[in-house]
């Protein structure tokens, strides 16, 4: 390559097929394509999954029987034979100079072709002793060929596709050698590299694939992680700024007295967190730029009151508000709560004798009778209803608002992106209503900055006074003495005038899953442990009118113990309930268990949550222990991220955020924050990244238009 050619960009690498590399013919190209590697860029971003540090590797002699270990050894002998039951058994003897090890592979006949005498292999498995011989059965094997050097990268490989780590390393080496005369283009300003102590891209690509030391790997990873996170944050910030520049919002008149009157009428003072968040929201609403804010608050942190304050602010300025909830039960509950808080408020109305009328709140769900629905739709369109509360029925065709100024979306993870966008599109004319998205499922701050990166985030991190802490007990004994403790506690609570929930994972008995079902549990408890108390049943398959009736009776205290599925997970508020029993608690995730637990402790009485489960897996044990240890939803969210990995976060994210090949929202928290701040800095200094065309080109290349549009809608 002539020395005058410019450095290679990611787009240049993307344009080069892998067949340009030495040793990649049509057959190998096919195998690489099966692993989603078709270009030189794909190959260079197919990073090693681990490294063998030959200065620190374990030896065969040092391995203890019963322990898992990894050794680098040479293959001395390979034999294959058929066993009596006609299975293939391949036996391989390896040595590293300190001792010998026999590897036994059952039903893997291809191992005889794969493992050749004289090859170097990295072997990982559990050491066993069989008839006095040290051996491993069906270990993981990475072939590294005759590669030398202190640090040997091990690539994700596919025996099925016929790809091995030493081949991948060879092709990567060829790509790096052929790129060396031109070098790699550097999209980041020198000042940014210096500020964050980052190596240049060429050094990073060499260091991740051909490191001389583990320090090289650490430096390379740091830079490449930075690139991945910065691309996502730049996309989000570009979209956020584009919406702000192009969308005309509603500049609300926020100087009225409604808010002070609402706060003054409360029987308790607002928490400092509630005051701070209300100020943030009101400040956003006063601006002509459409608000797009995420309100995170732990169970019981008082989000509903904050939402009512925002809705009231919109109404006082002459606009309408809409509150969308994921279930009819929750929508009905919001209707009761909002109606209770806003009783006695009046709004101007020139068509009345006194020039004003009572502030009106309406409920609209798929259950609303046809005649009521027609009346509500007519009044919404005419401006006679100030606040509409409902389920996704609010976004159906034909529903028009006279002056929609604020949309509040509760438990946003239950709604699809398109549903949220549809409600926002109900604004009148070109004015985009403000959007407040609420969730009681806290997610770690770094994850929020990635998943909801185009939203401003407010956090309610204080519980209101009067909320009693909930004791939590993990009951390990299923069907034994532990059960007795649980049902005794339920009977005592009912005896003292309180109520309880019993939650089950399934509605009816399942042969496949041996877990408690709501219907079976209801019958067993009613005829056994809780025969002397009033037991009710609530699940998703009940008719809507039956669900309503059960909840009304439970709220009124006519039902002592409610056996339910997770239909009660979100928003159900019965202050008199003080005991929560969750059966087969292992079957639920951390966020769900935390939500369910939050259904008690809502009054002034001490409350307890029993997690009944045997903790069959290490993950289940960790989940149940964490819930027993803390009631802090944000701490639990960190544990959840640790246990389940980014999948949980990226799962709620839109597609396209899985651009993360190296970056981890757990390990790289600080870089999420740094790249977000830098993204704002770069975009605000150079709208549309005009001064950074290389960065813009990389975003276009790696995060396509569909993904960008999808993110924008959110």
Is residue 445 pLDDT above 70, yes or no? no
Long-range Cβ contacts of 152-155 (<8 Å, 24+ apart):
152/51, 152/52, 152/54, 152/72, 152/122, 153/48, 153/50, 153/51, 153/208, 153/209, 153/210, 153/211, 154/48, 154/49, 154/50, 154/51, 154/52, 154/122, 155/46, 155/47, 155/48, 155/49
What's the pLDDT tens digit per position in 32-73? Answer: 998 889 999 999 999 998 887 766 677 899 888 988 788 889
Q: Could you list the residue range(s) of the whole structural domain that residue 171 is in?
A: 1-51+159-185
In this structure, of 156-160, 429-433, 576-580, 657-661, the range with the lowest mean pLDDT score is: 657-661
Is residue 654 pLDDT above 70, yes or no? no
pLDDT, average across residues 452-468: 75
Is residue 131 pLDDT above 60, yes or no? yes
CA–CA distances in Å: residue 506 to residues 35, 330, 563, 579, 610:
39, 21, 11, 20, 18
Compute the distance between CA of residue 564 and CA of residue 578 in angstroms, rounded to an integer: 15
CA 669 centroid distance within chain: 15
Compute the distance between CA of residue 322 and CA of residue 307 in angstroms, rounded to an integer: 10
Q: Which of 630, 652, 678 is the last residue of a domain?
A: 630
Looking at residue 697, its pLDDT comes to 92
- Extract the tokens encoding 546: 């039956």
In this structure, the answer to whether residues 356 and 373 fall within a common structural domain is yes
Compute the distance between CA of residue 306 and CA of residue 338 in angstroms, rounded to an integer: 11
Most confident of 21-25, 239-243, 540-544: 21-25
Q: Which of 605, 630, 655 is the last residue of a domain?
A: 630
In this structure, the answer to whether residues 165 and 107 fall within a common structural domain is no
Looking at residue 570, its pLDDT comes to 59
Closest CA to 434 of 276, 326, 319: 319
Strand 140-145 to 120-126 pairing: antiparallel
Strand 387-390 to 140-145 pairing: unpaired
In this structure, the answer to whether residues 425 and 388 fall within a common structural domain is yes
673 found inside a domain? no
277 found inside a domain? yes
Q: Per-residue confidence at 92, pLDDT binned at 50, 70, 90? A: very high
Number of domains in the chain: 4
Is residue 650 pLDDT above 50, yes or no? no
Looking at residue 439, its pLDDT comes to 81
In this structure, the answer to whether residues 330 and 475 fall within a common structural domain is no
Mean pLDDT, the chain, rounded, equals: 84
Strand runs (DSSP E) across 100-245, as ranges?
100-106, 120-126, 128-130, 133-137, 140-145, 151-154
pLDDT, average across residues 498-513: 74
Looking at residue 226, its pLDDT comes to 96
In this structure, the answer to whether residues 276 and 370 fall within a common structural domain is yes
Looking at residue 353, its pLDDT comes to 84
Looking at residue 633, its pLDDT comes to 81
196 found inside a domain? no
Is residue 636 pLDDT above 90, yes or no? no
Is residue 590 pLDDT above 90, yes or no? no
Looking at residue 209, its pLDDT comes to 95
Looking at residue 125, its pLDDT comes to 84
Looking at residue 42, its pLDDT comes to 94
In this structure, of 118-122, 154-158, 344-348, 412-416, the range with the lowest mean pLDDT score is: 412-416
Compute the distance between CA of residue 290 and CA of residue 245 in angstroms, rounded to an integer: 10
In this structure, the answer to whether residues 59 and 44 fall within a common structural domain is no
pLDDT, average across residues 340-360: 88
pLDDT, average across residues 238-262: 85
Looking at residue 659, its pLDDT comes to 57
Is residue 180 pLDDT above 90, yes or no? yes
Cα torsion for 141, 147, 148, 151, to the nearest 10°?
Answer: -50
Closest CA to 470 of 581, 367, 553: 581
Closest CA to 228 of 650, 672, 694, 647: 672
pLDDT, average across residues 358-382: 93
Buried (b) or exposed (e) across 377-415, using 16+ Cβ within 10 A?
bebbeeebbbbbbbbbbbbeeebebbbbbbbbbbbbebb
Q: Which of 630, 654, 677 is the last residue of a domain?
A: 630
Calculate ∠ Cα 421-425-426, nearest 5°. 125
Looking at residue 410, its pLDDT comes to 86
What's the pLDDT tens digit per position in 508-517? Answer: 555 455 455 8
| CATH code of the domain containing 63 | 2.40.50.140
Percent of the chain past pLDDT 90, that is, above it, reads 43
Looking at residue 267, its pLDDT comes to 84
| CATH code of the domain containing 518 | 3.40.50.300
In this structure, the answer to whether residues 42 and 71 fall within a common structural domain is no
510 found inside a domain? yes
Looking at residue 656, its pLDDT comes to 35
pLDDT, average across residues 512-537: 82
pLDDT, average across residues 555-563: 93
* DSSP, residue by residue, 322-346: EEE-SSHHHHHHHHHHHHHHHTT-E
Q: Per-residue confidence at 201, pLDDT binned at 50, 70, 90? A: very high
In this structure, the answer to whether residues 256 and 381 fall within a common structural domain is yes
636 found inside a domain? no
Looking at residue 414, its pLDDT comes to 47
CB 188 within 8 A of CB 181: no
424 found inside a domain? yes
CB 199 within 8 A of CB 220: yes
CB 345 within 8 A of CB 256: no
For tokens 């019981």, name the residue: 300
**pTM score above 0.75:** no
CB 237 within 8 A of CB 679: yes
pLDDT, average across residues 375-395: 91
CB 406 within 8 A of CB 311: yes
Closest CA to 217 of 153, 137, 124, 281: 153
Compute the distance between CA of residue 595 and CA of residue 588 in angstroms, rounded to an integer: 11
Gyration radius of the chain's alpha carbons: 31
- Extract the tokens encoding 678: 């830098």
In this structure, the answer to whether residues 493 and 584 fall within a common structural domain is yes
Strand 151-154 to 356-358 pairing: unpaired
Is residue 426 pLDDT above 90, yes or no? no
Looking at residue 544, its pLDDT comes to 76
In this structure, the answer to whether residues 259 and 382 fall within a common structural domain is yes
Percent of the chain past pLDDT 70, that is, above it, reads 86
Q: Per-residue confidence at 159, pLDDT binned at 50, 70, 90? A: low
In this structure, the answer to whether residues 498 and 408 fall within a common structural domain is no
Buried (b) or exposed (e) across 592-625, using 16+ Cβ within 10 A?
bbbbbbbbbbbbebebbbbbbbbbeeeebbbbbe
Q: Per-residue confidence at 482, pLDDT binned at 50, 70, 90? A: low
End-to-end CA distance of the chain: 45
Looking at residue 648, its pLDDT comes to 42
191 found inside a domain? no
662 found inside a domain? no
Compute the distance between CA of residue 29 and CA of residue 537 in angstroms, rounded to an integer: 60
Q: Per-residue confidence at 357, pLDDT binned at 50, 70, 90? A: very high
Which positions ≥6 away from 190 have C-beta within 8 Å?
A: none
Which helix (H) or strand (E) is 307 found in, with range?
A: helix 303-316
In this structure, the answer to whether residues 570 and 611 fall within a common structural domain is yes
Looking at residue 218, its pLDDT comes to 95
């Amino acid at each position: 390559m002539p020395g005058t050619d410019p450095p290679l960009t990611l787009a240049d690498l993307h344009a080069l097929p892998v067949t340009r590399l030495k040793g990649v013919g049509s057959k190998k190209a096919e195998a690489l394509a099966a692993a989603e590697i078709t270009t030189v860029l794909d190959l260079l971003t197919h990073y090693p999954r681990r490294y063998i540090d030959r200065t620190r590797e374990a030896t065969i002699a040092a391995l203890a029987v019963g322990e898992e270990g990894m050794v680098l050894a040479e293959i001395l002998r390979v034999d294959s034979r058929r066993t009596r039951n006609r299975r293939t058994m391949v036996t391989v003897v390896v040595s590293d100079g300190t001792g010998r090890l026999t590897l036994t592979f059952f039903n893997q006949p291809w191992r005889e072709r794969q493992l050749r005498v004289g090859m170097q292999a990295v072997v990982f498995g559990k050491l066993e002793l069989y008839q006095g011989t040290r051996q491993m059965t069906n270990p993981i094997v990475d072939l590294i060929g005759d590669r030398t050097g202190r640090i040997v990268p091990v690539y994700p490989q596919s025996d099925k596709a016929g790809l091995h780590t030493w081949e991948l390393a060879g092709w990567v080496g060829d790509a790096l050698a052929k790129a060396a005369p031109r070098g790699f283009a550097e999209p980041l300003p020198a000042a940014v590299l210096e500020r964050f102590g980052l190596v240049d891209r060429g050094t990073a690509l060499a260091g991740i694939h051909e490191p001389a030391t583990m320090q090289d790997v650490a430096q390379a990873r740091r830079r490449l992680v930075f690139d991945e996170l910065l691309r996502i944050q730049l996309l989000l910030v570009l979209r956020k700024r584009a919406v702000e520049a192009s969308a005309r919002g509603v500049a609300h008149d926020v100087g009225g007295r409604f808010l002070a009157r609402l706060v003054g009428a409360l029987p308790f003072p607002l928490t400092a967190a509630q005051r701070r968040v209300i100020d943030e929201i009101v400040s956003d609403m006063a601006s002509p730029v459409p608000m797009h804010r995420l309100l995170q608050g732990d169970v019981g942190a008082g989000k509903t009151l904050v939402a009512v304050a925002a809705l009231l602010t919109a109404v006082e300025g002459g606009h309408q508000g809409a509150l969308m909830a994921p279930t009819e039960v929750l929508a009905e509950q919001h209707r009761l709560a909002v109606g209770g808080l806003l009783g006695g408020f009046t709004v101007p109305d020139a068509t009345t004798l006194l020039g004003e009328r009572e502030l009106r709140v309406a409920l609209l769900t798929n259950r609303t009778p046809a005649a009521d629905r027609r009346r509500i739709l007519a009044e919404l369109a005419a401006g006679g209803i100030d606040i509409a509360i409902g389920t996704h029925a609010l976004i159906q065709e034909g529903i028009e608002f006279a002056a929609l100024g604020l949309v509040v979306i509760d438990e946003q993870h239950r709604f699809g992106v398109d549903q949220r966008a549809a409600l926002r599109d109900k604004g009148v004319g070109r004015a985009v209503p403000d959007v407040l998205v609420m969730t009681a499922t806290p997610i770690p701050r770094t994850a929020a900055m990635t998943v909801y990166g185009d939203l401003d985030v407010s956090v309610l991190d204080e519980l209101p006074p009067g909320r009693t802490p909930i004791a939590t007990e993990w009951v390990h004994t299923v069907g034994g003495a532990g059960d007795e403790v649980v049902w005794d506690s339920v009977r005592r609570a009912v005896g003292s005038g309180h109520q309880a929930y019993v939650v089950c994972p399934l509605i009816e008995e399942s042969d496949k899953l041996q877990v408690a079902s709501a219907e079976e549990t209801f019958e067993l408890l009613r005829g056994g442990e809780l025969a002397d108390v009033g037991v009710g049943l609530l699940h998703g398959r009940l008719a809507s009118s039956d669900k309503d009736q059960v909840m009304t009776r439970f709220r009124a205290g006519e039902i002592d113990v409610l056996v339910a599925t997770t239909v009660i997970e979100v928003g159900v508020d019965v202050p008199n309930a003080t005991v929560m029993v969750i059966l087969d608690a292992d079957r639920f995730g951390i966020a769900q268990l935390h939500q369910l637990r939050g259904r008690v402790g809502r009054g002034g009485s001490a409350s307890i949550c029993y997690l009944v489960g045997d903790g069959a897996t290490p993950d289940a044990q960790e989940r149940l222990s964490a819930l027993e240890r803390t009631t802090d939803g944000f701490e639990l969210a960190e544990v959840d991220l640790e246990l389940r990995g980014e999948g949980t976060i990226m799962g709620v994210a839109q597609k396209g955020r899985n651009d993360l090949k190296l970056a981890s929202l757990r390990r790289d928290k600080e870089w999420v924050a740094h790249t977000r701040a830098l993204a704002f800095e770069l975009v605000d200094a150079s709208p549309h990244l005009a001064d950074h065309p290389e960065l813009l080109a990389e975003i276009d290349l790696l995060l396509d238009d569909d993904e960008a549009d999808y993110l924008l809608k959110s």
